[in-house]
Amino acid sequence: MLTQEENELLTRIGPGTSMGNLMRQYWLPALLSSELPEPDCPPIRVRLLGEDLVAFRDTQGQVGLLGANCPHRGAPLFFGRNEERGLRCIYHGWKFDVSGRCVAMPNVPAESDYKEKLRATAYPCAENSGVIWGYMGPLDPPPELPRLEWAALPLEHKLITKQYLECNYAQALEGDLDPSHISFLHAPLDPRGRADYQGSAGIPMSDRNLSDAALEPTVKAQDKDPLIVLLNTDYGMFVGARRDADPGRYYWRFTQLVMPFYVFVPGAVDSPLHCNAWAPIDDEHTMVWRIQYLTSRPFTEQEVARLQSGLGAHVPPDGYLPATSAPSGAWVPSANRGNDYLTDRQVQRAVSFSGIRGIWAQDRACTEGMGSIMDRTNEHLGPSDVSVIQMRRLLLAAARALQEHGAVPPGLEVTPPIMPSPTVFLPKSLTWEEISGEYASGKAKTHSSS
């Protein structure tokens, strides 16, 4: 339970807010590279941390991220002409390059120096293997890109999908730091039964260990109250969730919170690695990025097809509703809040715990249903919520430390690539220190357990 003041601090991320200032210290995922497919292609709208922006790819392929409105008289740059190394406002032809410099002002006498005095709002961008990142913070030059393992991998090794979420980022992020809910929300009624309502967990990879994979659903179904152990690390937090598997082994699922809003979420044994990013659009909307990847080899065509099927995490664009003017394009899935996520009460009765098809929609039903910004003054956290509690503490502490004495935010200077941990069956004899020493990337800080 938070005070109203703490809840405001945690959830408000617009310009000038403490949490907004914290988020602005980090690079943020802004766009898929494919949304700006080629030099001089049409610009698109972006909304990030409560700011309206427009993104364009210039003649040399560089991406610019400008304030949505022309600094001259406020006309929308979205309608601008993207031509010859700059975006040109259609109102009076003023043209800005990716750095925000005004490079043409054709309705002003050539001898005027007015052009030099003007700067459009422009945020540095970087592009890395399919993702366009934006930096809205004060450092010049900006810090290095986040050292997330998947970020540098070739495109063929990964699948990336976005969804537009109609609620605050924090309640969505909390869902990822919650090891016990998979035994309920994402569970089939019969652990040996149909997996087709369970999303990607049920998608066989060609190199899975079949006997362990077969054991997994039963373990999740039988041990609904995992032991949760935490480790504070230099990048954020490492969470272990331990379930009883068989006489000699525990079933371990690891989750890593990478500040400020990345989560390496555990998949099934030998399934693709998985990272979520919960990038705030504004206080009441979030763009969730879901990245699944393989480090050792590209996905096969068959694997891509499965992950993009109705059950996977990467439903292709035609599963989305049209939304011409939506911020950041049309990323509202067809099962959404307006149609109760197409909940099927018969399926809920006979097949799956939730009656909702697919992990994304199951999570959305819970988190969007909490309201635009969840009221945390009236919740009742139990022993299973230790990692949610710790996540809030980390974010609140980092925001306060930055505001009060300019502390460097956690994770900003972590240099080794941060990588997810596999889901594994391990001998019961191993200690948490041994396990976290092996599986938590980054440096340990403090331990605690539920």
Tokens 């006489």, located at residue:
247
Q: Does 16 bind its own copies (CB under 8 A)?
A: no
Interface of this chain with its own copies, residues 17 to 56, rule: CB under 8 A: 42
Query: Cα separation of 436 and 353, whole Å?
Result: 32
Q: Does 256 bind its own copies (CB under 8 A)?
A: no
Per the CB < 8 A criterion, the answer to whether 222 and 182 are in contact is no
Instruction: Single out the residue of 60, 211, 296, 324 in contact with its own copies (rule: CB under 8 A).
Output: 324
Which x/- pattern, by CB under 8 A, does the window 117-146 give for its own copies?
A: -x----------------------------
Instruction: Single out the residue of 113, 345, 406, 431 in contact with its own copies (rule: CB under 8 A).
Output: 345
Instruction: Single out the residue of 128, 129, 309, 348 in contact with its own copies (rule: CB under 8 A).
Output: 348
Contact range with its own copies by CB under 8 A, out of 25-33, 201-209, 263-271, 365-373 = 365-373
Q: What is the nearest approach in angstroms of its own copies to the Cβ of residue 112?
A: 7
Half-sphere exposure of 201 (CA within 13 A, CB side): 25
Q: What is the nearest approach in angstroms of its own copies to the Cβ of residue 114?
A: 5
Which x/- pattern, by CB under 8 A, does the window 148-187 give for its own copies?
A: -----------------------x--x-----xx-xxx--
Contact range with its own copies by CB under 8 A, out of 87-95, 134-142, 327-335, 435-443 = 87-95
Contact range with its own copies by CB under 8 A, out of 17-25, 147-155, 256-264, 350-358 = 350-358
Parallel/antiparallel/unpaired status of strands 158-165 and 63-67: unpaired
Q: Does 214 bind its own copies (CB under 8 A)?
A: no
Instruction: Single out the residue of 78, 169, 262, 264 in contact with its own copies (rule: CB under 8 A).
Output: 78
User: For 199, which DSSP code?
Assistant: G
Instruction: Single out the residue of 23, 351, 356, 440 in contact with its own copies (rule: CB under 8 A).
Output: 356
* Backbone torsions φ then ψ of 386, nearest 5 degrees: -60, -35
Q: What is the nearest approach in angstroms of its own copies to the Cβ of residue 231?
A: 21
Q: In what order do the strands lie in the sheet with 63-67?
A: 44-48, 51-57, 63-67, 122-123
Query: Cα separation of 396 and 185, whole Å?
Result: 28
Q: Which amino acid is at 72?
A: H
Q: In what order do the strands lie in the sheet with 102-104?
A: 81-83, 86-88, 95-96, 102-104
Sign, Cα dihedral of 205, 128, 34, 53: positive
Sequence-distant (6+) residues with CB within 8 A of 275 are 148, 150, 262, 263, 264, 265, 290, 291, 293, 420
Q: Residue ranges of the alpha helices (H) in 2-126?
A: 4-11, 18-23, 114-117
Per the CB < 8 A criterion, the answer to whether 123 and 64 are in contact is no
Instruction: Single out the residue of 109, 138, 247, 406 in contact with its own copies (rule: CB under 8 A).
Output: 109
Query: Cα separation of 264 and 238, whole Å?
Result: 9
Interface of this chain with its own copies, residues 375 to 434, rule: CB under 8 A: 375-376, 378-385, 388
Q: What is the nearest approach in angstroms of its own copies to the Cβ of residue 120?
A: 10
With CB under 8 A as the rule, give the number of residues binding its own copies: 65
Q: Which two tokens stand for residue 126?
A: 């970087």
Q: Give contact residues for its own copies (rule: CB under 8 A).
A: 42, 69, 71-76, 78-79, 81, 90-93, 105-109, 112, 114, 118, 171, 174, 180-181, 183-185, 224-225, 324-325, 337-341, 343, 345, 348, 353-356, 362, 365-367, 369-371, 374-376, 378-385, 388
